[in-house]
């Protein structure tokens, strides 16, 4: 399967849409009474998820080496070092 380039604008709009829809759904269906520590745990989990998404996006934007090697069939394109 051929890897397609990342469309950052579509990703951002999609994440914003999911955030708004999720907040609306939670607000309409759930009445959550969390102690202050619960909000820190929830915020930490959300932060971990965002960091994971960010690392994936950064890898795609930089062009990770494994994708390049798989396109070349695993062949190294640099000449051998003579010494």
Give the tokens for residue 24. Answer: 């609306």
Task: Establish if 40 belongs to a structural domain.
Answer: yes
Whether the pLDDT of residue 76 is over 70: the answer is no
Full-model pTM: 0.39
Domain total of the chain: 1
What is the structure's pLDDT at 60?
79
Task: Establish if 77 belongs to a structural domain.
Answer: no
Task: Establish if 44 belongs to a structural domain.
Answer: yes
What is the structure's pLDDT at 27?
81
Task: Establish if 16 belongs to a structural domain.
Answer: no
- Name which of 16, 9, 8 is nearest 58 in CA terms: 8
Looking up tokens 């695993």 gives 74
The H or E element containing residue 9 is helix 8-29
Question: Using an 8 Å Cβ cutoff, are 12 and 57 in contact?
Answer: no
Task: Establish if 6 belongs to a structural domain.
Answer: no
Domain interval for residue 60: 36-72
Task: Establish if 21 belongs to a structural domain.
Answer: no
């Amino acid at each position: 399967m051929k890897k397609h380039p990342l469309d950052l604008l579509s990703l951002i709009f999609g994440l914003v849409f999911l955030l708004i829809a999720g907040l609306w759904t939670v607000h309409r269906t759930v009445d959550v009474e969390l102690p202050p520590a619960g909000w820190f745990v929830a915020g930490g989990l959300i932060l971990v998820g965002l960091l994971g998404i960010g690392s994936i996006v950064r890898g795609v934007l930089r062009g990770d080496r494994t994708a390049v090697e798989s396109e070349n069939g695993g062949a190294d394109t640099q000449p051998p070092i003579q010494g």
